[in-house]
Every structure is written in C-alpha cells, then in structure tokens.
Amino acid sequence: MQKKRYTGYTSFQYLEPADYPQVELVPELNRVPSTRVPTSEAEEARVQKIFDEHLVISLHDHCFVAPKDLSRFLEFRRSGRDFTGYEGMAASGLDAVFDAMMDGTAMITSRAGWKWEDVIFDIGMRLSDIAHQDFVKLALTTEDIRAAKRDGRVAFVVSLEGAAMIENEVDRIDVLYGLGMRSLGIAYSEGNALGGGLKEPAHFGLTSFGHRAVKRMNQLGVAIDISHANDATSMDTIKTSRHPIFITHAGARALWDTPRLKPDEVIRACADKGGVIGIEAAPHTTITRKTLTHSIESYMEHFEYCADLVGIDHVAFGPDVLFGDHVGLHHALRDALSLGASKGTTPYPQVEYVDGIENPAEAFPNIVRWMVTHGYSDDEIAKAVGGNIMRVLDEVWAK
C-alpha cells in the first residue's frame, strides 16, 4: 500500500486523561483472524502499483474504534467522543473515506437519535480531534482528495446517512455544508420530512419538502445518497436531482431478497443518471443464494452482478465497516436503528465477522487483490476503487 505520513497520533491525546472517557478499545489491526486474499508475488506487486498510481476511495465507512465491552455502548455514546482509527486508516491504503460519523447513534440527548444538536456535536467533536493531527485531513473539494493522495495523507469526507435532523428546515443543509458535510442521505430506516426509509410503505416517496431539499443539495454541491431510502423515494430522488447521485452502500436485491439491497430498476436508474453504487459489507447484508455465509466472496458477487448490470463505470465500494465487533454493535443498536426493517424474513447463517473484509484496514487491500486475481484490468480496478466516485464528485461538488 502507499506509504502514509502517519506518526502515531491517537484520538484526544492533546487532552488530559480525565477530560474524556477511559475505555478499553479494540485493536485496530488483526482483531480477528480474517482471511487475506492470496496472491502471487507478481500479483501483489501489481496490487501495490494500483495503490501507488490511482486514487483509492471508500464511498462509505465508519473509521471509529469501538470499545471492547459493548454492554454499555449507549452510555459510552453519550460522551459524544468517537476515537478515530488513525493507525488502521494508515494501513488501509485509502486516499479518501466518506466517513458516516455516528449519525443516528450520536445519542447524547436522546435514545432515539438523529437530533440536530447531537449531530452537530458529533461533527464538531470529531473534526476537533482531526484538527489536532496532520495525517487525516478534512476534504471539502475534489482537489483536497487529490492533494491527500500526493501528500501521503487520507482525506476525510463528512457524510451523513439520513436527513431526519434537518426536520422541516431546509437551511439546515446549508449549515451542515458550512460545517464540512459533503454527502447526505435522504432517509435512514425510518421516514422523515424528506421521504420514506426502509420501514415505510412502498408508495411513500419523496415529499414536497424532499423535492426542496434535493434542489438545495444540488445548489450547494452536496452528494446525495439513497442507500437507506425505500424504492419509491430512491426513484423520486434520482428523477428530481439534476446531478448524478450515489447509492453509497448497498447491493443487489436480485441476489438476496431484502429491502436493504436495491432492485435492478433503482440501480439502472442511478447509473442512467450518471451515478454510482458502492457495494456494502456490513454483516449480514451482501450475501447471496449461492453464498449464504457472508464473506468477501459473497460481497464480490454483488459487485460483479452490479458491474454486469450497469457497467464498470457505475460501481464502487462502500464497505460500511469499522474497527470493532460490528455484529455486536448491531445487537446493541438493533432497536435504535430499526435494523429489523432492513433484513427481510428469509433466515441465513449468522457470522461473527465478515471474513476478508472485516475492517477498514483490510477492506480495500483485499478488494484490489480479489480483482487482480479475477482477471480485471488495471483500468477497470482504478475506476471501481476511486475513479468513478471522482467523476461524480467533479460534477456534483462546488468548484
């Protein structure tokens, strides 16, 4: 991977220990015996060359470090402090990451989440920590991403998965933009003033206010995300936006029938507008009828299906992974995030972690290794791991 300029900084080391929660965190590297995709010496040299010469961007991740003990996770969240995985990010090979912060789990004042004050607190606290080191850099423009690549740093894109916290105040999108947010989801599992999430009836589409919000995001230069929107809201958003949109983290419902994954018509409509779908790897999402055990193999089946459906120019990767026990976090947050609404009713084998793509440090190295060993050209890999995302951002983000 490209050598990064990481010098060992850890979150909040500029403070005294008494200033923030003292909790035991998981190791950022090698927490579990996840499989490394095997390569020959020549193939590994080619992998390294791709990381050296091309932009590598995650369209959706959570690069925080979770506590080892998750039994009191919601209490821990109320401190409002996330520990960023700088060491793991340095090993990831990433040049940029769309980091989705804590979104609805920024439960400082409420156990329901998605409150305006909590989201603002979450963004400010995270960026305060980032401002005290010189490895991860806030990205506001596409040039910031390209500069991070040149400098051996990682560009950090503030991304929010849902817009419930703006309530009926369209100007709050401007405020979030001013605070660094550059990607915003329409809705999460529950609907909001903009449109329907995964829990809402099929006919619940983009509201009148949602149309106004999409227009405002277009005017500001915010990338629009429909990953957690229901099908009607997804289609309405694609039609309403004058710019391409992202499905930052999902997969193909044709391979596994669950509301969390997108049907062919939504994926096609996104691509026809010039947009991109990033493939999701959070536990128990991108499995297939062929590969029921969630792993990098089932994950890449979703990638290949989408690439065959809409072409290599419209696919990317948004693993949606973190440093810690992701399955355990899902159990801890199941009710708060309405996770049951996204899973469907068909039973499938549970896993302790997604083998081969368990955390941000290993995700893209293994993705690139998999593509190298499965006959993809350097040009195709470059598009999928970053080039397609940059094409959209060059159109969408304000210059």
Residue 374, pLDDT score: 98
Q: Picking from 152-166, 194-208, 284-298, 342-356, which range would have the lowest pLDDT averaged per residue? A: 342-356
CB atoms within 10 A of CB 8: 10
Q: Is the pLDDT of residue 143 over 80?
A: yes
Residue 318's CATH number? 3.20.20.140
* Residue 25, in any domain of the structure: no
If one compares 21 and 217, the residue with the highest pLDDT of the two is 217
pLDDT at residue 214 is higher than 60: yes
Task: Provide the pLDDT for residue 334.
Answer: 63
As for how many domains the chain has, the answer is 1
- pLDDT tens profile 218-246: 999 999 999 999 999 999 999 999 999 99
CA angle 286, 290, 292 (to 5 degrees): 55
pLDDT, residue 104, reads 82
Whole-number pLDDT of residue 348: 74
Going by C-alpha positions, the residue among 154, 59, 100, 141 that lies closest to residue 384 is 59
Percent of the chain with pLDDT over 70: 96
5-15 pLDDT, tens digit each: 999 999 999 99
Q: Is 315's pLDDT higher than 60?
A: yes
The type of residue at 1 is M
Q: Which tens digits make up the pLDDT trace of 251-286?
A: 999 999 999 999 999 999 999 999 999 999 999 999
Quick one: which of 244, 121, 99, 113 has its CA closest to 183? 99
pLDDT of residue 318: 98
User: Domain range holding 215?
Assistant: 42-396
- Residue 163 placed within a domain: yes
Q: Model confidence at 342, in pLDDT bands (50, 70, 90)? A: low
Residue linked to tokens 């072409």? 311
Token pair, residue 322, equals 């973190």
Flag whether 185 is in a domain.
yes
355 phi/psi in degrees, rounded to 5: -65, 125
Q: Is residue 17 part of a domain?
A: no
- pLDDT exceeds cutoff 60 at 148: yes
Structure tokens at 284: 């128990």
Question: How many other β-carbons are positioned within 10 Å of the β-carbon of residue 53?
Answer: 11
Which of 281, 357, 356 shows the shortest CA–CA distance to 319?
A: 281
Residue 287 domain-assigned (yes or no): yes
Q: What is the average per-residue pLDDT within 109-137? A: 95
Question: Mean pLDDT, to the nearest integer, of 52-65?
Answer: 97
Cβ density class 183-218: b for 16+ within 10 Å, e for less: bbbbbbbbbbbbbbbbbbeeebbbbebbbbbbebbb
Give the CA angle between residues 32, 34, 37 to the nearest 5°.
160
Among 293, 295, 361, 334, residue whose Cα is nearest residue 70? 334
Question: Residue 339 pLDDT > 80, yes or no?
Answer: no
Which pLDDT does position 62 carry in this prediction?
Answer: 96
* 343 pLDDT more than 60: no
Q: Per the domain annotation, does 15 fall within a domain?
A: no
SS3 206: coil
Lowest mean pLDDT among 66-70, 143-147, 271-275: 66-70
Name the least confident of 102-111, 125-134, 220-229, 305-314: 102-111
Report the distance separating Cα 383 and Cα 363, nearest Å: 17
Q: Alpha helices, DSSP H only, in 97-240? A: 116-131, 142-151, 171-178, 208-220, 231-240
Distance, in Å, from the CA atom of 357 to the CA atom of 359, rounded to the nearest integer, reads 6
Task: Answer yes or no: is 30 within a domain.
Answer: no
